[in-house]
Structure formats: C-alpha cells, structure tokens
Structure 1
Amino acid sequence: MAHGHTHAHNHTHYGRAFAIGILLNLGFVLIEAFYGWQAGSMALLADAGHNLTDVGGLLLAWAAYRAARIHANQRHTYGWRKASILASFINAVLILLAMLVLAWESLQRIQTPSPVEASTMMLVAAIGVGVNALTAWLFQKDSAHDLNIRGAFLHMAADAAVSLGVVVAGALYLWQGWLWIDAVLGLIISLLIIWGTWSLFHQSLHLLFDGVPEHISLPAVQECLLAIPAVSDLHDLHIWSMSTQEHALTVHVVYDAHLQPADELLDHLHHCLHERFDLQHITVQLESVDYARHCVMNHSKCHMV
C-alpha cells in the first residue's frame, strides 16, 4: 500500500484580508446604524443589522481558514481541514436566509410604499458600496477554486450589489418620486443573489457528504488508471474533498507484476492522478490477480465496485 501527499497547494495568506474586511465592515455597521437612527430610516437600520451578520460570516470563514491549517494529531488524523467546507456551507445558508428576508420585506413594501430620506440613504449606501466592494476584492483572487474564500467573496459582493441598488433607488426616487422603486430593486437584487449563491450552497453540501469534487470525473479517473498496461482491474475507488482546496483518493489496483514493477507502477499512478485531476492525497493498495480473485469470492472482506 502506498500513500502520496503532494503539497502543491495555494499558499495565499488571507489572514490580513479577513482582518481588514472585518474591521471595515464593523466600522460601516456602526456608521450605518447611527445615520439610520438619525434619519429615522428603517431601511438603513435593517441593512445595518444585515451587515452585522456579514461580520459574523467573515469571522466564521476566517476561523475555518485558520482551523484548516491546524496540523493533524492522534485524535484528528486529517486535522481540521473539513472546517473550510462547513464554513462555506454556513456562509451560503446565511446569504440565502438574508436574501429571503430582504425579498419578503421588499414584497411588503411594494404593497405599502412609504417616503424615504433619499439623500441620507444614498450617501450611506455609497459608503457601503466602497467598503463591500473593497472587501470582496480582497478575496476575489482565489474565489474560483476555494469554496470557503468564494463564500466570503460572494457575501461581500452581494452586499455591494444591495448597497448599489439603494443608491440607484435613492436617485430614481429623487428624480421621479417613485415610492415603490426601493422595494422593487431590493426584490430584484435579492432574487439575483439567491440565484448566484445556489451553486455555492449545492457544492458545499455535496462536499460535506464526501461527494466527488465537481471538477473531477470518476469515469475519467477509472479510464486513466485502466489505461496503464500493468493494471488489469480496480475496485473500492473513492474520491472526496478533505477541504475546499485538497482532494483525496483511495483505490485498490489489481496489477500484473510481470508487466511493470510495483514501484514504477506507483509512480505512474501518482503522476497520472495528480497531474490530470489535481489529487493531493492518494492511497493505492496494489493487489495481485490471485488476491483479487480471493476478494471476488469473499465479499465480506472485499467489496467490489
């Protein structure tokens, strides 16, 4: 049996990005709550409460980012890498819940529109656009291939979009006097964000239950391994994500030692799996043809797949 641990991971350090994002958003929450109270704006006060949950989301993502780097020990042999997947799932749930609440409140306000202090709303919301857009930019680089970082990015990008919608609504209100415009734009933005966040929710839930990562095709992995001449069969193939960045594989490989020595075969297998499928933690059990036949006859010990 052989283990392969390739450490070609992304080493971007996000500790400073999380700290800056949390401080910026916490400061904005205080500003928005103060001016919302001064202007008597329920919209700004409600958005301040929503932005406070964003600070919690960033703290959660940061904690998971740190936990994923805790070394393995005798109690947790894989460390706490799974925390990054859990955080991305919770972040997706928080975004979806916040947007559902915003959509519901928007529907209520469409039915009963009321005057707003547009100038104050626009000024505070414009600050929010800058704060949230800057925070989102801090996480943009690796948001495409790390679900935890993507969750933080989407959270901040969603808030930037909501704040921009408030600015546009305020401008249209001052121009046309439409009482309903704020609520309609709020509903549209919330539905767009729900649509954009659904994939994060689906992917993170899938990985929580040890699903095959989206970018890896199980049939393609089987084809890659079986294409090696010395490999006659394989079984008990499992692929899952240890974190939002690291993926693992275990497999039993039936091989013909006359065609290729075991060490050369293992090198071949590891190269194929890492280079083609970005698998970092690989465990291969080599079995002779005679041993594989024994597995077929004794299903209690070997479960063929």
Structure 2
Amino acid sequence: MGAGHSHSDGHRHGHSHAQADYGNAFMVGIILNAGFVIVEAVYGWISGSMALIADAGHNLSDVLALLLAWAASIAAKRPGSERFTYGYKSSTILAALLNAGLLLLAIGAILFETLNRIAEPPVVEGEKMAIIAGIGIVINAGTAALFMRGQHDINIRGAFLHMAADALVSAGVVIAGLAIMWTGESWIDPAVSLAIVLVIAWGTWGLLKDSVAMSMLGVPKGISENRVRAYFFALPGVEAVHDLHIWPMSTTETALTVHLVIPSGHPGDAFLQEVAHELQQRHNIGHTTVQIEIGHNDCRAGC
C-alpha cells in the first residue's frame, strides 16, 4: 500500500488570519468595566435598584470573560512542546466554556434576588438608576468598539458581542429608570431585571452550546462535512474516502485528516499541495493531513 502525507499550515500559505495583538484593547476594556462594576453596584445598592445590581453582576462576569479571553489569546500563541504538540491553541475553547459557566452562575444569583424583589418591590430612585446605566452604555459601547475589527476571530468576536449586548442591556435599564421617574411604579425595576436575565440567558445558551461542541471536537460552524467529503470524491482517481475527521484546534483554526483510496497510484506532492490549498480556500481548513492508499477500495472504517 502506498501512502502520502501532506500538512498545510495556514500561516505558511498565507491564507489564515494572523493573530492580532489585542492586549491593549483587553487591558483598557477590563479597567473601564471593572471600575464601572464598582460604581454601578454601589449606586444600585444606595438607590435600591435591583436592575443596576443585576447589570453590575453581568458586567462583572464580562470582566472575568475579558480576562479569560485575554489569557487564552496569549496562551494560543505559545509554541508546541513535547507534551502539547499543538501548543495551547485550544485554550481559547476552554475560555469560552468557562465563560459560559460564569454566566450561568450570574444568572442564578440575579434571578434569585430579582424574584425576592418582585414579591416585595422596594422604593427605587429612578433618576440615579438612569444616570448610572447611561454611563454603562458609553463604557460598554466603547469597549465593544475596541474589538470591532477582530470579527474573524471567534474569541474576539465573543468579547465584542458580549460588550455590545451589555450596551443594549444598559439602555434597557435607562428606560426602566425613566419609566419609574414618570410613573412611580417600582415593579418596573425587577421586571427589567428579568428581561436582563433573559438577554444574558439567550447569549449564554449560544455560547455554551458552541463551546461544548468545540470542546467535544465537533465540526466547526461554517464547515460542512458532506461538502468536504464530496470535494474529495470529485478529485481525479479517488475511489473511496474514509477516516475523515474535522475538528477545531482553537476558536480560529481547524484541522482535518483523511484517507483517500487512489488505486491508480500515488498522485504526487503537487496533488497534495493543491488539496491543502483548496481546503484552505474553500472550507477555511488550514491544517490538513492526507494519506493516500492505493489498495482497491481500502475502506476500514466506512467510506
């Protein structure tokens, strides 16, 4: 049986997005949001606003999320070792999974206190509530803007979406504060808190689902296993395709291994290089390993 091997490094071929340095963006975002969490929590407690405290709890989880994303982005750039031959690229996946867990804890704590406030709505100072949340809109929107250019990196995109969503949540708190000022109805505050919990839960579910799938080496979103398989079958001389595996190495890099049965003989290095190039261009798979088998329909694990 003849065999061939090809490994395509996306950076070597110049098709993968380079790992941009967002260290300054993370630092500024963390400092701004950590400071705002303290201010928001204090004024939420003084004004009796559960909506402000709920938003502060969410913003605290975002500070931790930024810290985790930052640490993971740094670790992902470290080279491989004898034990971790892929390096620490998958740390970005672990960071996403941990962030989802932190958000679930925040949801539980906020929901518990909010339900108590619904049973006995306290007097809320709507004006302070609206002013502090208005500051939150500026800080969260400004932080989101720091990550606007990194949308090709799911890890960076997650930070952007987190902060953009927080800006919208803060806008909801402003609306609640103004409504309380105009109507004097304190029940509006816990009602908005519930809405905030729903917004957080919606985003958390998506993050949890995607991070669990990636941690279990699921085929990354945007890549179709059927289309990749069809591409291999369309190659000249390929009689069978088996042991096809596609998995995420990190939140931005994907790997693939496959066995191609070509009875006519090994097609040569040029063939393997072309396959690697096409997988990168068509399917955004930058790390490929292709084994050529010349035995007729040598399919051990199902084609």
Distance in structure 1 (CA, Å) of the matches to 2:90 and 2:8: 19
Partner of 2:169: 162
Q: Indicate conservation of the 8 Å contact 2:244/2:257, yes or no.
A: yes
Deviation string for 1:38-63 (max 9, x for gaps)?
54656545544443332222111100
Q: State, as a whole percentage, how many aligned pairs show the same letter.
A: 49
Distance in structure 2 (CA, Å) of the matches to 1:40 and 1:189: 17
Q: Secondary structure at the match of 1:282?
A: strand
Per the normalisation by structure 1, the TM-score is: 0.88
Runs of 4+ in 1 over 6 A off after TM superposition: none
Distance in structure 2 (CA, Å) of the matches to 1:110 and 1:232: 66
CA drift at 1:153: 2.4
Q: Secondary structure at the match of 1:279?
A: coil
Q: Indicate conservation of the 8 Å contact 2:50/2:189, yes or no.
A: no
Q: Quick check: 1:149 aligned with 2:156?
A: yes
Structure 2 unpaired stretches of 5+: none
Change over 3 Å in CA distance of 1:267–1:45 after alignment to 2? closer
Per the normalisation by structure 2, the TM-score is: 0.88
Deviation string for 1:87-140 (max 9, x for gaps)?
112222323432343344333322321211222222111111111121122223
CA drift at 1:185: 1.8
Q: Indicate conservation of the 8 Å contact 1:91/1:152, yes or no.
A: no
Partner of 1:133: 141
Change over 3 Å in CA distance of 1:228–1:46 after alignment to 2? closer
Partner of 1:213: 220
CA drift at 1:304: 3.7
Q: Secondary structure at the match of 2:114?
A: helix
Partner of 1:2: 6
Change over 3 Å in CA distance of 1:34–1:249 after alignment to 2? same
Change over 3 Å in CA distance of 1:30–1:103 after alignment to 2? closer
Distance in structure 1 (CA, Å) of the matches to 2:113 and 2:155: 29
Q: Indicate conservation of the 8 Å contact 2:280/2:286, yes or no.
A: yes
Q: Quick check: 1:119 aligned with 2:127?
A: yes
Q: CA RMSD in A?
A: 2.3
Q: Indicate conservation of the 8 Å contact 2:50/2:193, yes or no.
A: no
Q: Secondary structure at the match of 1:231?
A: coil
Distance in structure 2 (CA, Å) of the matches to 1:41 and 1:150: 31
**Which structure is richer in relative contact order (CA contacts within 8 A, separation 6 or more)?**
2
CA drift at 1:282: 0.3
Deviation string for 1:196-222 (max 9, x for gaps)?
332222111101000111211111111
